[in-house]
Amino acid sequence: MNYVLVLLLVGVVILLCVFVGRLSEKLKIPSLILFIGIGLLFGEDVGGIEFDNYAFAETACSICLIFVIFYGGFGTNFSAARPVLGQAVVLSFAGTALTAGALGAAVYVLFNFVFGAGIGWIESMLIGSVVASTDAASVFSILRARKLNLRYHTASLLEMESGSNDPMSYMLTMLFASLLAVEGYGGGEAVLLLVCQVGFGAAIGVGLGFAAIFVLKKLPMSVGQGGTIFLLAVAVLAYALPQIPSVASGVAAISGNGYLAVYICGIMAGNSGIGKKREISKFCDNLTGIAQMMIFFLLGLLATPSRLPEVMLPALLVFVVLTVLVRPIVVTGLLLPFKAKFGKIFVVSWAGLRGVASVVFAITATGMIGADALPYDLFNLVFCIVLLSVVVQGTLLPAVSRGTKMIDTEGTVMRTFNDYGEEDNIGFIRIEVGEDHPWFGSRLKDAVMPKEFLVLLILRGGGATVPSGETRIEKGDVLVCAAPGFRNEDDFGMYEEQIGARHKWAGRRVRDLDLPEGTLIAMIRRGDGTLVPRGDTVVEKNDTLALLRIRDVSDSGA
């Protein structure tokens, strides 16, 4: 295909994903479902694009998953998760292994005695391993979008469990896929694989995490550019370095778990004292959104709807067993020793959404063992399971949380994320004092200002003064003030309006302008300066107006 047509297709797909993401907020359903739908729309049965390149899909999805897992670690607030750290670790590792084993046994029974498919234990355990982990991106997006603040630190538990259980699922997937794909692969190689996966992955993750934090704290790097790019490079290195021993030795078993290293790096960086974490989180959030779009679009493109009916019933039964039996039993058995409440156990059980990681692991396993190694196509089987999980569990999670009285209305779920800004975060304001300014000539202690407002510095005559209450404000002073920063930027949008000679607003006072409802002029850039407009301010030719549009109630999802 011509690269111009490829770029055209990519642009159209991204635009469609953006629009359907907005639509999902209105419909109150997870956006990932609609991303899959776009992939199906462009696929072989509908759009005519024939795509069955598992190697390309594995590479693209693996790269995307790096950033999803890194952000899963970076965005988790370790302080908020500390009360449930033990529970999260147990669920992430023991819970994932038990889920894979129990589901594998169930798959063996279902496929052999219900469907008569003649499947072996290793193949059954492979299926259980691929879908054993929960999906951090899906859980994060639902908690954020619905603002589900759950009682008993349940949101933190879900975030940490879903962000950290992918490495265990990946290790088990690689183990059983290797047993199927490599002739003579035995117990010794399996033990070596597990030891190397954990050992190399954890060691490199911790080492790179400490190194990244040291560099970001010591070097005067612009976090908005260099710092963010630096962290993304660290994430890529964390994934690649653990696998170098395998490349160098030629022995597949001597390979570290790159996803484990990436997650450790992410959680260390996100919970360190580096600056501008909120800005980095915003960038990573957007990047992760693009990665999810890519993965689920490729998932829909790779799937063939005409072949799905043959796996729909097995996938439905596997999903029901996993959701109704395996996950609840495992979660209950692991959380009861922590004296967890029934409502918490129920919500954690229901919130075990399958998603991005299961898709990538299914593609990886299919590439290793071949599409015909199992009685049912592994990829299509996992596709249906993930689709059912996102549709059913994702859509009903808010209702389940309300039904079990697990909603905490006194706090905010955003505190569990590292990009949450506390209300007392400080913003700095610059005020120029002229003769018409109400503070001109007043002592600082007599100036009328909000109690949260503090004048930190006065710039006067080329020098700087730290003021006291007796300091008198003079003409030409520049006041550097501090005030609590506003942290709900998502509730409004800002755009610019250029005023030309023929613009309908040129020469008119601000109070006379026919501004759209919910819109106001926040600032006017005129020449080399800026001014905050009043009602009698006249808009002049060549002005640049910064307009603020407040989102209405229907847009805000209230």
3-state secondary structure 176-191: HHHHHHCCCCCHHHHH
The mean predicted confidence, pLDDT, of the chain is: 82
- Answer with the residue of higher pLDDT: 16 or 459: 459
What's the domain count of the chain? 3
pLDDT of residue 155: 84
For residues 273 and 446, what is the distance between their CA atoms, to the nearest angstrom? 38
Q: Where is pLDDT greater, at 259 or 555?
A: 259
DSSP assignment of 142-180: HHHHTT--BSTTHHHHHHHHHHHSHHHHHHHHHHHHHHH
Q: Whose CA is closest to 304, among 20, 16, 42?
A: 42
Distance CA 352, CA 139 (A): 8
For the ranges 241-245, 348-352, 353-357, 365-369, the one whose mean pLDDT is highest:
348-352
Q: Are residues 81 and 156 in the same domain?
A: yes
Domain membership flag for residue 146: yes
The answer on 147 and 256 residing in a single domain is: yes
Q: Report the pLDDT value the prediction gives residue 383, as an integer from 0 to 100.
A: 87
pLDDT tens profile 372-415: 777 788 888 998 998 899 889 988 988 998 899 998 776 665 55
Instruction: Quote the CA–CA distance of 126 and 444 in Å, as a whole number.
Output: 71
Q: Which of 16-25, 259-268, 402-411 has the lowest mean pLDDT?
A: 16-25
Q: Is residue 80 helix, strand or coil?
A: helix
Of 484, 501, 519, which residue is a domain's last? 484
- Do 439 and 539 fall within a single domain? no
Confidence of residue 250 (pLDDT cuts 50, 70, 90): low
Given a cut of 80, whether residue 458 has pLDDT beyond it is yes
Which residue would you say has higher pLDDT here, 487 or 459?
459
Q: Which residue has the tokens 């129990």?
A: 102
Higher pLDDT, 264 or 3: 264
Domain boundary among 484, 503, 521: 484
More confident position, 394 or 6:
394
Query: Is the separation of the CB atoms in 241 and 208 below 8 Å?
Result: yes
434 and 540 together in one domain:
no
The predicted-structure confidence for 159-194, as pLDDT tens digits, reads as follows 888 888 888 999 999 889 888 877 666 667 778 888
* Alpha carbon 101 to its chain's center: 28
State the residue range of the domain holding 496: 491-556
Residue 487 has pLDDT above 70, yes or no: no
Here the CATH number for the domain that contains residue 82 is 1.20.1530.20
- Whose tokens are 């079990």? That residue is 404
420 or 298: which leads in pLDDT: 298
Identity of the highest mean pLDDT range in 71-80, 191-200, 320-329, 412-421? 320-329
Q: Give the residue from 126, 92, 113 showing the smallest Cα distance to 381.
A: 126
Please check the confidence at residue 106 and state whether its pLDDT lies above 90.
yes
Q: Which two tokens stand for residue 131?
A: 């879908």
Residues in the chain: 558
More confident residue, 122 or 275: 122
Rg (CA), the chain: 28
* Single-letter amino acid, residue 455: V
Domain membership flag for residue 374: yes
Threshold 0.85, pTM exceeds: no
Pair of tokens at residue 256? 């570290």
**Confidence grade of residue 482 (pLDDT, cut at 50, 70, 90):** confident
Beta bridge partners of 481: 429, 455
Residue 385: other Cβ atoms inside 10 A = 24
Can you tell me the distance from the alpha carbon of 499 to that of 520, in angstroms, rounded to the nearest whole number? 15
Domain assignment of residue 421, yes or no: no
Is residue 344 in some structural domain? Answer: yes
> What is the tens place of the pLDDT at every residue in 77-105?
777 778 888 999 999 999 999 999 999 99
Are 207 and 326 members of one domain? Answer: yes
Tell me the longest C-alpha to C-alpha distance in the chain: 91
Determine the pLDDT at residue 423: 42
User: Is-contact 265 164, C-beta < 8 A?
Assistant: no
Q: Is 116 exposed, middle or buried (0-12, 13-18, 19+ CB in 10 A)?
A: exposed
The least confident of 418-422, 462-466, 540-544 is 418-422
Predicted confidence band of residue 550 (pLDDT cuts 50, 70, 90): low
Residues 184, 73, single domain; the answer is yes
The answer on 504 and 455 residing in a single domain is no
- Using the 3D structure, point to which of 484, 504, 533 is the last residue of a domain: 484
In this prediction, residue 553 carries a pLDDT of 41
In the predicted model, is pLDDT for residue 318 greater than 90?
Answer: yes
Residues 286 and 380 in one domain: yes
Residue 117: Cβ within 10 Å count: 15
299 and 386 in a single domain? The answer is yes
What is the DSSP-derived secondary structure letter of residue 417? Answer: B
540 falls in which pLDDT band (50, 70, 90)? very high
Average pLDDT over residues 496-516: 88
CATH number at residue 433: 3.30.70.1450
Per-residue confidence (pLDDT) for residue 422, from 0 to 100: 44
Q: Is 477 helix (H, G, I), strand (E, B) or coil?
A: coil
Q: What is the pLDDT of residue 251?
A: 65
The answer on 435 and 410 residing in a single domain is no
Cα angle at 97 between 91 and 101, to 5 degrees?
130
443 domain-assigned: yes
- Shared domain for 503 and 477, answered yes or no, is no
147 and 269, same domain (yes or no): yes
Of 218 and 210, the one with more pLDDT: 210
pLDDT for res 558: 36
